[in-house]
Every structure is written in C-alpha cells, then in structure tokens.
Amino acid sequence: MLLLHLSDVDENRWANAYREALGDYPVVRRGDDFDPADIEYIFVWKPKPDAFDGLTGLKAVLSLGAGVDALLKHPNLPDAPIVRFVDDQLSQQMTDYVVAHVTMHHRRFTRFAADQKARAWRQFYPPISSETNVGIMGLGVLGQDAARRLSALDFTVRGWSRSPKSIEGVACFSGPEQFDDFLSETDILVDLLPLTPDTTGILNMDTFRKLRRGVLEDGPVIINAARGGHQREADIVAALTDGTLGAASLDVFEVEPLPQDSPLWALDNCFITPHIAAISNPKTGVRYFSQVVNDQRAGKPLINVVDRDRGY
Ligand code: NAP
Ligand code: GLV
C-alpha cells in the first residue's frame, strides 16, 4: 500500500494520478481508513512530525523533491531507504531557469533596465559568451544538465563537486582545496548544490570576494536555484550594494516565503523568484515513482537512493 503525505501541494491530484498508474495496488491518503502497518511506501513532501507513526512495514520513503535536506532533518525519519526525484523534465526546467538567468546577466539586463528607467542612451558592449566563465557549484544531475546546455551556448563552463569529475568541455574542480581556484576565474556563479552541513552558508562575502572581476563590468553575479540555507542574505545585500557583486538571481531563501521586510525585495540588481526553478509535476513524478514501486515489487533494486551519511 502507498500512502501520500504531502504539504503545500495538491495531494488529491497526485493521488488520482497514482491510482491510475498503479492499478490494483492500493493508494491511500491521510484520513483514509487503513492500517499503518500495511504501508510499504510513503510519498512525502514536507512531512508532518507524525508522518511515519506506525509505519512498521515500510520498504521505502519516496521524496517528491530532488533535494532531501528537510526530510533528513525529520525527527522521526524511519530507517527505510529514501528515493529522491530524478527526472529529465525536472532537469530541463532547472536548466531553462539557469540559462535564462545566465544569459540575462551576461547581457547586463540590470544595467540596461536602469538606463531605460533613466531614459539614458549609454552604449556598452558586454563580453561575448565564450569570454564569460560560468562556474557551476554541484555537478550532479542538475549541474551536469545545465553545464551541457551552457556549453552549447558557447559559455566557458567550469564546475565544482565533492568528488573529482571529468566532463567534456567543462573545467572540473573538486573539494575544498580547489574551491578558490574554481572561484578565481568565475564570472557567473551558479549554485546547484544540495544543502548539507558542508554547503550551509557557502554563498557568503568571503566567497563573493574570490570571484573574477573585470569581465562583467558591474561585477560578478550569483544565481542560487538550490537551497536558501546556502546563502547568507545579509552578505548578499551588502555585496549587491557595495559592488562586490554586480547582480544576483535568487530562487530560494533562508526563510520562505521571503519575509516582506527583507531588503532583497528592494534591490534593483536582485532578481527574485518564489522557489519555482524546477517543480516536480504529477505526470512525470507518478510515472517515475510508480516505476520505482513496480520495479522493487518485481525484485529489482531501488534507484537514486539517498546516501544519508553524505546528506544527499
Ligand atoms: P545531485 O545529483 O545529488 O548532485 C549534487 C552535486 O553537488 C554533486 O555533484 C555533488 O558532488 C555536489 N556536492 C555535494 N556536496 C558538495 C560539497 N560539499 N562540495 C562540493 N560539491 C558538493 O543533486 P541534483 O539532483 O543535481 O540537485 C541539486 C539540488 O538542487 C538539490 O539538492 C535541491 O536542493 C536543489 N533543487 C532545487 C530546485 C528548485 O526549484 N529551486 C528544484 C530541484 C532541486 P559529487 O558529484 O562529488 O557527489
Ligand atoms: C525542490 O526544491 C526540490 O528539491 O525538488
């Protein structure tokens, strides 16, 4: 039996899609009449504290999110394997977001928007894409997809990961010891890391000061489409104000929704989106997780299982 336990999304829509996909295999929601001991799979997003109570027969926890940082902090998380969402369409959505923001900053929309507001005709020529270095933090499923599409657009792509990588057309760096080298030639820094103790607060003033200056005229740029826990927002405000950064695009925040009194709202060189860079959708999500359930029931191993020690 599969139990859905979703907050802040349309659970009914997911339940209907699962029932259609899983046929005879029972699908239940909170409030339905079922014995918790019969639940083999629980599909979760922002589970409540009692989400796992009584689930003694659990075979896997299925995470609607690609990121599992919040789930791993759940006080009553059972010992079952956690399968996270990995999907081509999710990657495509994220890459769409990254490409849109990289190209916008590369062509200095911030500056031309300000000039337009001031009715000012100030000619200025941004560097060509191949002379603009985009550094991607996180070379996993999403980071590699973004790297591939940015390379195809002729940007010079660099990447940083925990373990060493070799990716055609991407200058690869790894580990804390190569972080400064990675930053030193990066003009646009894209964050696609998971949130772990090692990556918490990584977008701070010290990091911003190490980025390359001189290619993007108003200063280097950051794009965070990963997790708000990566960023020190007071540092971002200071850096966007004193010129350490030329601009930022932020899809995620220390506190979501972003509080009304956050100074980020008022900064012309800060682009804010409400955690929408890549949203798991019922069509592809149900297809993926139904396959996971059917495969495991047929004796095949689980895929995309989270490594709890690494934290992602
Ligand atoms: P992934 O496949 O697990 O990739 C994570 C990458 O980060 C890997 O390359 C990993 O290195 C690297 N990494 C982890 N810890 C590191 C460290 N301490 N130092 C350097 N590199 C480190 O994850 P993904 O599927 O690409 O997703 C990335 C994140 O995007 C998710 O965790 C989630 O938080 C976020 N996300 C956001 C949205 C949104 O709408 N805003 C949507 C989906 C996902 P190794 O390759 O060496 O392991
Ligand atoms: C969204 O933020 C996700 O982790 O899928």
pLDDT of residue 293: 98
Contact between residue 219 and residue 186 where contact means Cβ atoms under 8 Å apart: no
Q: Which of 6, 45, 279, 284 to mutate to test the pocket of ligand 2 (most atoms within 8 A of CB)?
A: 279
Instruction: State the average pLDDT over residues 173-181.
Output: 98
Quickly list DSSP for 141-184: HHHHHHHHHHHHTT-EEEEEESS---BTTEEEEETGGGHHHHHH
Pocket test for ligand 1, best of 98, 230, 312 (most atoms within 8 A of CB): 312
**pLDDT score for 300:** 98
Residue nearest to atom 15 of ligand 1 (CA): 162
- pLDDT on residue 90: 98
Mutate to test the pocket of ligand 1, among 85, 90, 162 (most ligand atoms within 8 A of CB): 162
Which residues lie across from 221 on neighbouring strands? 188, 247
Q: What is the pLDDT of residue 301?
A: 97
- Tell me how far the alpha carbon of residue 279 lies from the centroid of ligand 2, in angstroms: 7
Query: What confidence tens digit (pLDDT) does each residue in 187-218 have?
Result: 999 999 999 999 999 999 999 999 999 999 99
Residue 97 pLDDT class (50, 70, 90 cuts): very high
Q: Are 53 and 77 in contact (CB under 8 A)?
A: no
What confidence tens digit (pLDDT) does each residue in 109-158 have? 999 999 999 999 999 899 999 999 999 999 999 999 999 999 999 999 99
- Look-up of token digits 């990584």: 202
Which ligand is in closest contact with the Cα of 229?
1
* Residue 102 banded pLDDT, cuts 50, 70, 90: very high
Could you give the percent of the chain with pLDDT greater than 90?
99
pLDDT digits (tens, 9 = 90+) for 19-77: 999 999 999 999 999 999 999 999 999 999 999 999 999 999 999 999 999 999 999 99
Q: How far apart are CA 305 and CA 302, in angstroms?
A: 7
* 135: phi then psi, degrees, rounded to nearest 5: -105, 120
Instruction: Please report which confidence band the pLDDT of residue 5 belongs to, taking 50, 70 and 90 as the band edges.
Output: very high
Pocket of ligand 1 (CB under 6 A): 66-67, 94, 138-143, 160-163, 192-196, 198-199, 225-227, 251-252, 275, 277-278, 312
Cis bond leading into 259, ω under 30°?
no
Q: Which residue's CA is the nearest one to ligand 2's atom 4? A: 67
Domains and CATH numbers, the chain: 2-87+280-297 (3.40.50.720), 89-272 (3.40.50.720)
CA of 114 to the centre of ligand 2 (A): 32
Say if residues 222 and 203 touch (Cβ distance below 8 Å). Answer: yes
Lowest mean pLDDT among 12-16, 85-89, 107-111, 127-131: 107-111
Q: Dihedral of CA 182/183/187/188: which sign? A: positive
**Ligand 2 contact, 126 CB (< 6 A):** no
Mean pLDDT of the chain: 97
Contacts of 242 (CB under 8 A, 6+ apart): none
pLDDT value at position 212?
A: 98
Q: 140: Cβ below 6 Å to ligand 2? A: no
Produce one character per residue of 256-272: b if its CB has 16 or more CB atoms within 10 Å, e if not.
Answer: eebeeebebeebebbbe
Q: What is the mean pLDDT of residues 170-198?
A: 98
Give the number of the atom of ligand 1 that is nearest the alpha carbon of residue 196: 15
Residue 65 near ligand 2, beta carbon < 6 Å: yes
More confidently predicted of 258 and 125: 258
The per-residue pLDDT for 60 is: 98
Q: What is the mean pLDDT of residues 99-118?
A: 95
